């Protein structure tokens, strides 16, 4: 019996968010060691939050999903600011 993916796994926005998490982890490996528990950690958590909010919101109503997408968008903005700071 093959596994059926969750609906959110088929979403392009979710797939792109996963790619972004991979990108963030790759570039933060190059950050200075003294940033490991501040900027690096915050950047990784914000990027991961994008995926997690898309996932969590997909299980609810359309209105709930839209609210979680707004939260994911806020995390995206946070990542932009962290990128500029770094």
Q: Is the pLDDT of residue 3 over 80?
A: no
For the whole model, what pTM was predicted?
A: 0.88
Residue 28 lies in a domain: yes
Residue 22 lies in a domain: yes
Q: What is the pLDDT of residue 35?
A: 81
Residue 1 lies in a domain: no
Distance, CA of 30 to CA of 50 (rounded, Å): 22
In three-state secondary structure terms, 46 is helix
Residue 2 lies in a domain: no
Contact 14, 48 (CB under 8 A): no
pLDDT digits (tens, 9 = 90+) for 23-76: 999 999 999 888 888 999 999 999 999 999 999 999 899 999 999 999 999 999
Which range of residues forms the domain containing residue 45?
7-85
Torsion angle (degrees, nearest 10) of CA 72, 77, 79, 82: -150
- Residue 2 has what DSSP assignment? P
CATH of the domain at 75: 1.20.1440.60
Count of the separate structural domains present in the chain: 1
Least Cα distance to 28 among 14, 18, 49, 42 occurs for: 42
Residue 21 lies in a domain: yes
């Amino acid at each position: 019996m093959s596994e059926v993916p969750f609906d959110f796994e088929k979403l392009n926005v979710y797939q792109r968010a996963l790619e972004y998490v991979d990108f963030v982890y790759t570039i933060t490996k190059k950050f200075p060691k003294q940033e490991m528990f501040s900027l690096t950690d915050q950047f990784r958590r914000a990027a991961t939050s994008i995926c997690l909010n898309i996932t969590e919101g997909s299980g609810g109503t359309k209105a709930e999903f839209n609210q979680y997408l707004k939260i994911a968008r806020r995390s995206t903005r946070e990542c932009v600011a962290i990128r500029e700071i770094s």
